[in-house]
Each structure stands twice: as C-alpha cells, then as structure tokens.
C-alpha cells in the first residue's frame, strides 16, 4: 500500500462513482424507465397532438422545437434526484459513516456523488434522445455546445441535489424542492415555448430562471436557435457550479447534517 496519494484518491473516487452507477442501474425500473415513459407521453401529447395545431416555432416544427428542452428537462431532473435520494439514503441508513471514517477528502465525496448523478442524468438523456428519434429528426448544429451544456447542466443539478441531500431530514424533504421549485422552474424555463412570446415583464422575470439558460443553450447546440446569448448561458452555469461547489464543500467541512 505504498501507492501515491493521487492513486489512492482515484481509487476512492472510482469506488464511490461505481457504487452510485451500480445503484441506479440496480433499481432501473425506478430510475431509468419512468423518465422514458414520461417523456414519450410529452412527445405524444405536446409534440404530436397539440404541436400539430400550434404549427412552427422559430422556424421549426413544434415537436422539433420542444425536443431539446424535453431532453434537458429529463437530464436535470434525474441528475438532481439521483444525488438527493442517494445521499439522503446513505444518511438515513447511516452508511455514510463508511465514507466519513475513511481517509477520503470532502471534495472527493462530493465529486463521487456528483459524477454518479451526472452519469444518471446523461443515461436518462440518452434514453430520452433515443425515444425522441421516433418523433423527430434530431440534428446537432453545434456538437461542442450541445455536449458541454448537457454535461454542465447535469453537474449543476447534481450539486443542487447534493445540498438538498445534506439538509434533508426526511424523505419528504428531498421531494419538496423538486416538486415546488424544480418542476415549476423547468416548465417556465422555455422548454415548451420561446420567451419572446411572453409580455416584456415576464420575459425579464424569466431571465432569473437558470433553467432558461440551459434549455436555450442546449437548443442552440441542437437547432442553432436561442432566446439567450450562449456565452451568457455558459457564464451563468459555470458561476452557479462554482458557487454550489463552494457551498457544498463548506457544508461538508462543517459536517452539517452528517456529523454530530
């Protein structure tokens, strides 16, 4: 066991990440299947049935217009839910102690969970993308922007899920944020419409919604159109990731919710 500290850290991170991936694959009927079914319904109802009556939006069929938003919605919801529920479960069953007694620095605990949540977000995003191929002809206008935006969004919401998991004292408390904050923000984040359709006042209010930036930047990556400047979207997301990372590390350092 004379291995270097970097190697030991890599092994610890890999162990945590593998455990997280193994977990969401083991319970795939709860983690991977429901988003596929829900998003299929979105495509059928909003895209096919209602969308054909709406016509075009920003020069694209409505179905094609909403597809990037629906993919992004599934990514952020699942990245968030994975970390929040997994981290809270580890507190609830006390097996978080396995990590707390081990020589794992706080940033690696955070990185392991966030990587696991990001992996689930991307897995679900991939599944929903496959589903969308039955309804749309997907194209990618800007490959780098598409992939970097989906990964950064998953990371950002995985961090949010981690902080939720730290504060949560019951399973109810990991459902409150997704139900009362995340879902409304997602629906109001330009998944189903362009904010140019809104009155001026609500357009300005919408700019305070971080999901708007992600959806639009991702849509820009796929379709080449956006309500928001893509550089602004990247700056906003990177700033949020930096702030959430610092806050999560601070909570871990203080032992909030995990140490007496």
Per CB under 8 A, residues contacting other proteins are: 1, 3, 5, 7-9, 11-12, 14-16, 19, 22-23, 26, 89-90, 93-95, 97-105, 255, 259-260
- In this complex, which beta carbon is closest to other proteins, that of residue 27 or of residue 176? 27
Q: How far is the CB of 79 from other proteins (least distance, A)?
A: 21
As a whole number of angstroms, the distance between CA 81 and CA 229 comes to: 29
- In this complex, which beta carbon is closest to other proteins, that of residue 91 or of residue 142? 91
Q: How far is the CB of 30 from other proteins (least distance, A)?
A: 12
Q: What is the DSSP letter of 195?
A: G
Q: What is the DSSP letter of 196?
A: G
Q: H or E element: which one contains 15? A: helix 5-26
- In this complex, which beta carbon is closest to other proteins, that of residue 115 or of residue 188? 115
Q: How far is the CB of 239 from other proteins (least distance, A)?
A: 30
3-state secondary structure of 197: helix
Q: How far is the CB of 18 from other proteins (least distance, A)?
A: 8
Count of beta carbons in the 10 Å neighbourhood of residue 235: 12
As a whole number of angstroms, the distance between CA 227 and CA 223 comes to: 12
Gyration radius from the chain CA atoms? 19
As a whole number of angstroms, the distance between CA 92 and CA 173 comes to: 12
Contact assessment for residue 162 and residue 113, using Cβ atoms and an 8 Å cutoff? yes
- In this complex, which beta carbon is closest to other proteins, that of residue 29 or of residue 103? 103
Q: For residue 66, with 0-12 CB atoms within 10 Å meaning exposed, 13-18 middle and 19 or more buried, which class applies?
A: buried
* Alpha carbon separation from 203 to 69, 226, 227 (Å, rounded): 18, 14, 10
Q: How far is the CB of 101 from other proteins (least distance, A)?
A: 5
As a whole number of angstroms, the distance between CA 107 and CA 250 comes to: 10
Token pair listed for 219: 């849509």
- In this complex, which beta carbon is closest to other proteins, that of residue 240 or of residue 258? 258
Q: How far is the CB of 9 from other proteins (least distance, A)?
A: 7
- In this complex, which beta carbon is closest to other proteins, that of residue 231 or of residue 260? 260
- Say which residues have a Cβ less than 8 Å from residue 11's Cβ, sequence separation at least 6: 3
Q: How far is the CB of 126 from other proteins (least distance, A)?
A: 25
- In this complex, which beta carbon is closest to other proteins, that of residue 95 or of residue 204? 95
């Amino acid at each position: 066991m004379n291995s270097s500290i970097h190697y030991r850290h890599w092994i610890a991170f890999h162990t945590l990440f593998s455990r997280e991936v193994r977990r969401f694959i083991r319970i795939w009927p709860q983690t991977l299947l429901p988003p596929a079914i829900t998003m299929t319904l979105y495509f059928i109802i909003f895209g096919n049935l209602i969308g054909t009556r709406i016509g075009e939006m920003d020069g694209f069929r409505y179905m094609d217009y909403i597809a990037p938003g629906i993919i992004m919605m599934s990514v952020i919801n699942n990245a968030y839910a994975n970390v929040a529920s997994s981290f809270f479960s580890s507190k609830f069953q006390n097996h978080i102690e396995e990590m707390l007694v081990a020589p794992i620095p706080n940033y690696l605990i955070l990185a392991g969970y966030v990587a696991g949540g990001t992996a689930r977000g991307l897995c679900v995003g991939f599944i929903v993308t496959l589903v969308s191929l039955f309804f749309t002809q997907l194209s990618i206008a800007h490959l780098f922007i598409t992939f970097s935006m989906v990964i950064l969004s998953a990371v950002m919401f995985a961090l949010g899920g981690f902080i939720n998991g730290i504060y949560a004292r019951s399973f109810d408390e990991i459902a409150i944020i997704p139900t009362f904050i995340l879902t409304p923000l997602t629906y109001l984040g330009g998944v189903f419409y362009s904010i140019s359709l809104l009155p001026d006042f609500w357009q300005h209010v919408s700019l305070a919604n971080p999901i708007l930036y992600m959806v639009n930047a991702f849509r820009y990556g796929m379709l080449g159109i956006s309500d928001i400047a893509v550089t602004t979207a990247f700056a906003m997301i990177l700033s949020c990731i930096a702030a959430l990372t610092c806050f999560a590390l601070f909570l871990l350092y203080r032992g909030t919710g995990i140490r007496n």
